[in-house]
Amino acid sequence: MSLSGPRIGRAHQQQGDTMAINVEPALSPHLVVDDAASAIDFYVKAFDAVELGRVPGPDGKLIHAALRINGFTVMLNDDVPQMCGGKSMTPTSLGGTPVTIHLTVTDVDAKFQRALNAGATVVTALEDQLWGDRYGVVADPFGHHWSLGQPVREVNMDEIQAAMSSQGDG
């Protein structure tokens, strides 16, 4: 399978015999993993991702892949240290990740459980939070963190401030 059709972040319009490229602003996380093919399988199972395409290199490692998760594009590739000054860039090689990818979803309990069933582990248990969301965080088998949240009640800033203040009174 290869990437086909419009390129990520671009819209194409036919103008005569040529295609005009119209850039559409986008923000797409680009994940580096060990075993990108397995990561794609995990994201399909865990987050109902749709694979948009993959580009294998001569050694079979994926130099580029794209998925659609929760309506947005996520790019990923196998770790290729020679492309990063000889440094491995996976969360495992870096000792963790400072980034959490957030998904706002409906039916957060089912989606959180789906991620766990696919092989994710709990980082932060799924609970109702002071800001009005039901929210939790999982780590995927490749070291990336994913938070899942669903708004469940309206709150105002006074409520949030009061809840934060009362947390220190324990």
pTM attached to this predicted model: 0.84
CA angle 106, 69, 32 (to 5 degrees): 135
Q: pLDDT tens, 57-75?
A: 999 999 999 999 999 999 9
Q: What are phi and psi of 98, to 5 degrees?
A: -90, 0
* Model confidence at 5: pLDDT above 50: no
User: Residue 100 corresponds to which tokens in the numbers above?
Assistant: 């959490």
With a pLDDT cut of 90, the percent of the chain lying above it is 79
Q: At what angle do helices 36-47 and 108-118 cross, to 10 degrees?
A: 150
What structural domains and CATH numbers belong to the chain?
Answer: 21-81 (3.10.180.10), 96-170 (3.30.720.110)
Q: pLDDT tens, 16-60?
A: 667 778 888 999 999 999 999 999 999 999 999 999 999 999 999
